[in-house]
Structure 1
Amino acid sequence: MLHSIFTGPTRAITVLSVTQILGWGALYYPPALVSSLITAEYGWSFAVAMLGLSVGLGVSGLLSPYACGLVDKHGGNRVMAIGALIGACGLVGVVLAVDPVTYLLAWVLIGAAMASTLYDASFATLTYLYGPAARRPITIVTFAGGLASTIAWPATHLLIEMIGWRGAYLVFAALLAFVVAPLHAFALPRERIKDSAPQPAQQAAPPAKLLPPRGWPFVLIAAGFSMGAFVMSGIAAHLLGMLQRGGLDAGAAVTVGALIGPAQVASRFADFATKGRAHPLWIARGGMALMTLAFVMLLVAGISFPMAVLFAVLYGAANGIMTIARGALTLLLFGPVGYGHVLGRIARPAQILQATAPFVLAFAVEHASDQVVLAVSACGTLLALICFVLLKRPA
């Protein structure tokens, strides 16, 4: 078993678990701590600094169907390796940028890297390798990805204090170029993994009814995940700043942010322990209901350290199971054939909408208040919940 994890075909799970931590930690989470420093150094508005992340997420949404479609055809080796190298170039570009135009151009490269290296590409890679049996490997990989914020925010905070924000970005660029890219290129399996012979009970089971990836069900699933993505993107970019403006010091805010990862992993472990018996549609409904509760609670009770901890746990648990739901619900409703392209089509509106979140919420912070941000987030998760309630299971 141990030999298979590191050298057998199932090493894809090990490789992607490592690269998802590093990829999310390098590409997605640092702006929560770095944007305010860029604002102070260059004199740009906070909204302009956050616009970089918005541009990156928007580019990721536009390119996601194409990147995942390439994984469908060729596997993840070349696609994800090239994406990591592009991400390294983008991070170096942010370091070298001296005006908003070159700064945003660097984020275009980072967006291309997000489309080809983060969850959607890794889910497509696992489905390419495992076929209909990909749900369990997807869940395992999300265990590791859930720890990205827990590792990335404290690590970024420490690197900034030691070598500045530019030094931190150069470290992340090196990790992408010299660790993530080689792992994708040389360690990911290239051949599809053959399932063992099915058991009699499996042979007797009727085939699942699949839906065509269009029409009202497709619109509802895309809209539900899009609204959830908007909220999760905005909170990832602004949570630490809101906590500090609410009275927590920087260390306490980072501590609260670091709790989100373990909460994500705990909720994903619950799905893993039940061996995927819960229908992904009910998982999505439960996740959005829990997230709505978290925002309403923080909006009503206000920010304090105990309430922030409770919010982080509830929000992290909901975020964790929503990641599983996105991969598993798409696979269950629409099937493994062309999975990467279908997932990319679902991801496109989600990532374009979430691309607006850092900028829109930064504008709201500057011109309104953090309470408005929390209210907008609660409304977004409620709309997502309504979409999943309206979505019906196929017969």
Structure 2
Amino acid sequence: MSEPEVRAPARQRGQRIMAEGRAEKAWRKRPSTILWMLSLGQLISWGLVYYTFPLFVVPMTQELGWSRSGMFGALSAGLMVAGLCSIPVGAWIDRGHGRKLMTGGSLAAAALMLLWAHIDSLPLFYAMWIGLGACQAVLLYEPAFAVITRVYGPRYKQAILLMTFLGGLASTFGIPFTQFLVERVGWRASLEVLAAINVAVALMHWLFVPGPQEKPVPIGEAKPPVDGAAKKSPLAAAIRVPAFWGLVVAFAGYGLAFSAMSFHLIPLLDDRGVPIGVVMAIIALIGPMQVVGRVLLMVGQRHITTIQLGAGIYFAFPIAMAMLAMGISDVYGLILFAIIYGVANGLITILRGMAVPEFIGPEGYGVVSGALTMPTNIMRAAGPVIASLAWAAFGGYTPVLWGLAAIMLIAAMGFAAAAMLSKRPA
């Protein structure tokens, strides 16, 4: 062994379990196979279930006569439901039910997209998106992170890095592919194709996601209960850790600012007279910059702690917001904004996956991560509405942007508090 037993008992135990598993299990149950298949599932689920919504807005409004605000209200309702479902989803995954949840989520997403393809009622559209929000709660990063930590144990960081790297290409894959379908066969037939692809994803989840009979690899040593004290559930123990509430502030603040920027960046730049070609180029640059950030972290991960990663992210976000608030509209300034914002946005997904075991503890990763995801998704659902109300109240986007920069500063203070209050080394 390269390390003494006393320095890494959990790591060595995890490696021993995985080595035994490789010898005894079929290839589809090996950790590396599970990781690649889950990462492919993230690429498809993010690309086709999450990112494609805006592509259907214009053709649907033209055919059905619905307002854009009415359609985006359905999206917000779905995001709200995704947040509310996150805690029970995490708890179920901690009990080993990731296979059933993710398979069922993909099948339900397929059925709902098939319903979407034949929809002509706005109330039914809202009901359908509430269902898709529940599907997102069991398909996207947080449940996938919870599954993969059960497989990789103390090596979860490298696994999350690979998963988010592939997932970062979701918009690059999903948006052009879906736009191609919409232009060739129309929006209704396109949704039928997407539904069929989600059935294939469901099969992949059923074949490769471990079931409850698979023994999880421990992330680290759990703290023994105090003599005479009843053992608390992982979530009950986590909410008593001050660092948990620091992370709530950090991630919820990000969720609000991110969603506000996602839905208002295009009208903001349009208000400033930026040519539409430049606007589309800036939007297109943000996605690849997320991947660049993740690649840089993969290269330098051994030299960067979780605290250093978070400090860089929460330093970058307020700067990006302040740049827009100061009125930049030239091409080079906007490119610099896209680089800073895109890299930070790509890295915060990884930070969310790493912070729970490092700042709070290794027990109950799924349910604790779900508890952090719930306020994040609720703020993500509220962000576009809050930004719209602020824009109407102040008569422009500049005060809104300064407000978002202030929110990200508060989020940064939340992360700093979590880092300082955590008793676990980063």
TM-score range, shorter chain: 0.7 to 0.9
Q: Deviations over 1:173-209 (max 9, x none)?
A: 222122x1111111334535769xxxxxxxxxx9798
Cα separation, 1, equivalents of 2:209 and 2:115: 28
1:182 corresponds to: 203
CA-based RMSD: 2.9
Task: Report SS of the residue matched to 1:257.
Answer: helix
Q: Which runs of 4+ in 1 moved over 6 A?
A: 206-211
Cα separation, 1, equivalents of 2:54 and 2:126: 16
Q: Does residue 159 of the first structure (1) align with residue 181 of the second (2)?
A: yes
Task: Report SS of the residue matched to 1:301.
Answer: coil
8 A contact 1:32–1:241 mirrored in 2: no
> In structure 2, do the counterparts of structure 1 residues 325 and 20 end up closer, same or farther at CA, with 3 Å as the change threshold?
same
Q: Provide structure 1 residue ranges, at least 5 long, that are not aligned to the other structure.
A: 196-205
8 A contact 1:29–1:149 mirrored in 2: yes
Alignment of 1:346-357 (within 5 A): 346-357=372-383
Q: Provide structure 2 residue ranges, at least 5 long, that are not aligned to the other structure.
A: 1-21, 225-233
Q: Deviations over 1:316-351 (max 9, x none)?
A: 110111111111011212233211000001111111
Q: Does residue 313 of the first structure (1) align with residue 339 of the second (2)?
A: yes
1:213 corresponds to: 238
TM superposition shift of 1:230: 1.5
8 A contact 1:50–1:362 mirrored in 2: no
1:377 corresponds to: 404
Alignment of 1:247-262 (within 5 A): 247=273, 252-262=278-288
Alignment of 1:123-202 (within 5 A): 123-178=145-200, 180-190=201-211, 191-192=214-215
- Quick check: 254-263 or 337-346, which moved more? 254-263
> In structure 2, do the counterparts of structure 1 residues 98 and 318 end up closer, same or farther at CA, with 3 Å as the change threshold?
same
Counterpart AA for 1:56: G
1:233 corresponds to: 259
Counterpart AA for 1:374: L
- Quick check: 382-391 or 118-127, which moved more? 382-391
TM superposition shift of 1:236: 2.9
Q: Does residue 52 of the first structure (1) align with residue 74 of the second (2)?
A: yes
Cα separation, 2, equivalents of 1:246 and 1:41: 31
TM superposition shift of 1:41: 4.2
8 A contact 2:148–2:156 mirrored in 1: yes
- TM-score w.r.t. the length of structure 2 is 0.80
Query: Pick from 312, 318, 325: which aligns with 2:351?
Result: 325
Q: Deviations over 1:132-154 (max 9, x none)?
A: 32121011100011111222333
8 A contact 2:48–2:178 mirrored in 1: no
Q: Deviations over 1:71-121 (max 9, x none)?
A: 111242221111111122232333333233111101111101110000001
- TM-score w.r.t. the length of structure 1 is 0.86
Query: Pick from 417, 420, 424: which aligns with 1:390?
Result: 417
Report the number of matched residues. Answer: 381
Q: Does residue 359 of the first structure (1) align with residue 359 of the second (2)?
A: no
> In structure 2, do the counterparts of structure 1 residues 342 and 208 end up closer, same or farther at CA, with 3 Å as the change threshold?
closer
1:264 corresponds to: 290
TM superposition shift of 1:389: 2.1
> In structure 2, do the counterparts of structure 1 residues 165 and 298 end up closer, same or farther at CA, with 3 Å as the change threshold?
farther
Q: Deviations over 1:226-275 (max 9, x none)?
A: 11012222333343454455545666544433322221122222222233
Cα separation, 1, equivalents of 2:31 and 2:343: 30
Identity of aligned residues (%): 31
8 A contact 2:150–2:217 mirrored in 1: no
Cα separation, 2, equivalents of 1:55 and 1:347: 16
- Quick check: 38-47 or 381-390, which moved more? 38-47
1:203 corresponds to: none
Counterpart AA for 1:116: V
- Quick check: 157-166 or 60-69, which moved more? 157-166
Cα separation, 1, equivalents of 2:310 and 2:258: 14
- Quick check: 299-308 or 333-342, which moved more? 299-308
2:5 corresponds to: none
